[in-house]
Amino acid sequence: MVEIGSDFWKAELKKDDIRFFLSGRTALEYIIRDILWDRDVCSVLLPSYCCHTMIEPFVRHGMGIRFYDVYFDKGRLCARIPEPRQREIFFFIKYFGYQKLPGLDSESIRSRWDCMIQDCTHSWLMPERAKEFCDYRFTSYRKWTGTGAVASAERVGAHFHIEKPIRINKEYEKLIGDAEKRKKEYIEENRGDKKEYLKLFQEAEEELSRNYEDCVPEYERLYRLMNLDLNIIREKRRENAEVLLNHLKDMKELTPMISEIQPEDVPLFVPVMAEPDKRDLLRQYLIEKQIYCPVHWPVSEFHQISGRAKEIYDRELSLVCDQRYGRREMERIAEALKRFY
């Protein structure tokens, strides 16, 4: 006879298993090891449009790499998916927080590949109903808000096989904490030297590149993530992106990658396509106006991609639209774009 009542001895966990890591690379590397624990895979099909940090963990595990074309055509971002190969993982992204990617049919892919990984870094704030079914998901949060380096990995509908990591990269945490503190003093109190915090951010990034496997974030970073006001982030980003897109309608020199915001979209940036010979000049001009817009991404030694796919890397510029800013800052960006041209 089993006793009833008194102290609890277990928790009712969800079927999906979520774990937290120091970075997106850490989460992805962990996912790869979990896949290799119980699946016979030897290669991955990656989107041609991706960061080298998405490729490197697969290379580290000796997997074969091939790419499917993600390209810009007739005013929109598109994908062209080849036939699957045996023992191959399919990897996909919904770019910049926008739902649509013509050419990527998740149901068809699900029926042809045995294992799917979704990088949700760009799309994690979309509603649950907008998420695609896959075997694994991971998300890096630091491009969205001031959590620092925090990422999560999720095994959909099952639990991870391998042990939870517990190691903290203390050197990285020290560097990034000091960098954030000095930038806050510089921006909010007009104290200190900008070069100092930029140097610390660079040193932190170099440390993360060297030492990211099996690392977890410090408690303070998880605390920030768990207490984010997601409604403010969603609303401000959508509002700011709308302002920029309205101005871009009058600018023939720049073409938005995604021209309309759908109800489920939460923009990470407003990506635009410039002429290749003007993109870097425009970016430098914006920097001179103290407007810092990134490029996604540099082509790396790992990228073996077609000329059509490479065009995005030569032309793309990501306009900032995040929740730190409002209409006034978006008007300032738009005015700078118009003055440049």
pLDDT exceeds 90 at position 67: yes
pLDDT exceeds 80 at position 132: no
The pair of structure tokens assigned to 12 is: 């009712």
The pair of structure tokens assigned to 209 is: 């590149």
Neighbour count for residue 130 (Cβ, 10 Å):
15
Q: pLDDT-derived band of residue 127, with 50, 70 and 90 as boundaries?
A: confident
Torsion of CA 309, 315, 316, 317, to 10 degrees: 170
Q: Which residues contact 260 (CB under 8 A, 6 or more apart)?
A: 245
| Residue found by looking up tokens 């963990």 in the block | 57
pLDDT tens per residue, range 91-112: 999 999 987 788 888 888 999 9
Distance CA 257, CA 147 (A): 28
Q: pLDDT-derived band of residue 130, with 50, 70 and 90 as boundaries?
A: low
pLDDT at 131: 67
High-pLDDT (> 70) share of the chain, %: 99
pLDDT exceeds 70 at position 320: yes
pLDDT tens per residue, range 28-40: 999 999 999 999 9
DSSP per residue over 224-264, as a string? HHHT--HHHHHHHHHHHHHHHHHHHTT-TT-EESS-S--TT
Of these ranges, 1-10, 143-152, 162-171, the one predicted with the greatest mean pLDDT is 162-171
pLDDT at 74: 86
Distance CA 37, CA 289 (A): 51
Beta-bridged to residue 272, according to DSSP, are 256, 317
Distance CA 294, CA 316 (A): 9
Distance CA 328, CA 325 (A): 8
pLDDT exceeds 70 at position 270: yes
Q: Alpha helix locations (H) across 253-326?
A: 276-288, 307-315
pLDDT exceeds 90 at position 292: yes
Tell me what the pLDDT averaged over the chain comes to: 93
The pair of structure tokens assigned to 328 is: 């006034």
pLDDT at 39: 94
pLDDT exceeds 60 at position 129: no
Any idea what DSSP says for residue 59?
A: H
pLDDT at 63: 97
Distance CA 2, CA 329 (A): 65
Min mean pLDDT across 89-103, 119-133, 164-178 is at 119-133
pLDDT at 196: 94
pLDDT tens per residue, range 7-36: 988 888 888 899 999 999 999 999 999 999
